[in-house]
Amino acid sequence: MRLNFNLRHNLLFFSTLLIFLAISSGVFAQINYTKLYEGKIENMYVTFILTVRDTQASAIVHHETGEIYMVGNVVKNRKELKMEVMDLETGATKESMTAEILPEELRILWQAVDAKYLVPYVLKERKADAQKGHLVFESIEYADERIFRASKKELGTCSGSTKFQCLLPRLPSNPTLDKILQSNWRKVNGLAQAGSMQAAIKKYSDDFLKEFIEVNTPSEDFLANYSQEADHTVLYNDKNILTMGVFVSSYTGGAHGNYSSVFYNWDLKTGQELLLEHVIDTLKNSALSKIITQNYKIQNPDLAEMVFEDIKEIGPNENFFVTNEALFFFYNTYEIAPYAAGPSSVKISWKELKPFLHPNSPFLRFVSPN
């Protein structure tokens, strides 16, 4: 058996595999949980981030050489997982596993595609720990839909819909840091207004659907469907660093919808969001841009030919995420290339990035054993 820990760049494809619950209009759903497990698989230390939503399950498995992504279902009275490792480029199954869900551990049976045998492993649940920066996550799902009926019967109806799956990081063992983390998380996600998380999410949804009604009300010739979906995913939670991805897709008329992946990084020692200026010496951006451009051409040879002509070098941006082996800059559609090129990313190893980290960068935790 051989585990494939190759990191796939198209994280947006993975987000489409995370299926939302079917929820009636304007209703919050009680999400089940996101838990972190850790242990060894084939003598490799891994962290296993599991998200369970109703009967659907998804997981990101981290190792120092990369990640794998899994999707599947919860069965047998929600006490067992059946999951498959997915190739994010083709959607093909690479390996599979079943796991018994116990109060504080996962008992896994892993099977490679070409193997006829199952190998057992046990991963222990990682509890929230203020000293290590390990979190718990509060999950909220909300969906709403409005139907608009035109005054002209021949135009029929159109619909506006929203679906949101939010993960709020919590650190209950440290109330002061927990409050700072929640406040900053809400701010960057556009949910900073006073009141509960549920109230903030509902207002965001109501504002979007209000716009849908206002756009269609004066229409005499056509109707426009509106939709927006947002999905939060935990990508990294170790070394007192938290990385979360927000995958958003929307349609507000036109030839095609829009989609984007936005990544947020947090220093769990302070609760603050990590911007580029907090981790990298921005005075060295010119030299870093040369490395980014070189790596991008090597890692994305086909896409490199589609980069806008006026972009001579690809620079760092604020949209980045981390793994144990590297930092990735992620570029959404239209940022450096046309819609047809889709989103893309470039990997900069910690060895390559080390000269660009400023002396107080929290990311020094990735390059120094101390």
- DSSP output for 123-172: EEEPPPBTTTTB-EEEEEEEEEEEEEE-SSGGG-EEEEEEEEEEEEEE-T
For domain 277-366, is the CATH number 3.90.640.20?
Answer: yes
Give the pLDDT confidence of 277-295 residue by residue, as tens digits. Answer: 999 988 888 999 999 999 9
Secondary element (H or E) of residue 264? strand 258-267
pLDDT at residue number 262: 92
Tokens 């469907």 sit on residue: 225
pTM for the model? 0.74
Architecture of domain 136-274: 2-Layer Sandwich (3.30)
CA dist 334 and 194 (Å) reads 34
Task: Answer for the pair 292, 314: CB distance below 8 angstroms, yes or no.
Answer: yes
How confident is residue 323, by pLDDT bands cut at 50, 70 and 90?
Answer: confident
Query: For residue 187, what are the CA distances in angstroms to 87, 160, 191, 195, 288?
Result: 34, 26, 6, 13, 29
Q: Helices marked H in 249-327 — which ranges?
A: 276-279, 285-299, 301-304
Type of residue at 4: N
Instruction: Please determine, looking at this structure, whether the domain spanning 11-21+35-125 carries the CATH number 2.40.128.
Output: yes
Decide whether 136-274 matches 277-366 in CATH topology. no
Write out pLDDT tens, residues 79-119. Answer: 888 888 876 556 666 788 888 988 888 898 887 766 666 78
**Over the stretch 138-195, which tens digit does the pLDDT of each residue have?**
778 889 999 988 877 778 889 999 998 888 888 777 888 888 888 888 887 777 776 7
Answer for the pair 69, 49: CB distance below 8 angstroms, yes or no: no
Neighbour count for residue 39 (Cβ, 10 Å): 18
pLDDT higher than 60, residue 364: yes
Structure confidence at residue 31 (pLDDT): 53
Please list the alpha-helical segments (H only) found in the chain: 11-16, 175-188, 197-216, 276-279, 285-299, 301-304, 350-353
Cβ atoms of 266 and 169 closer than 8 Å: yes
CB neighbourhood size of 89 (10 A) = 10
Q: How confident is the model at residue 66 (pLDDT cuts 50, 70, 90)?
A: low
Longest CA span, the chain? 70
Residue whose entry in the numeric block shows the structure tokens 């490679």: 112
Report the alpha-carbon distance of residue 288 to residue 283 in Å, rounded: 10
**Least reliable range by pLDDT among 219-223, 288-292, 354-358:** 219-223
- For the chain, give every domain's residue range: 11-21+35-125, 136-274, 277-366
> Which pLDDT score, from 0 to 100, does residue 3 have?
39
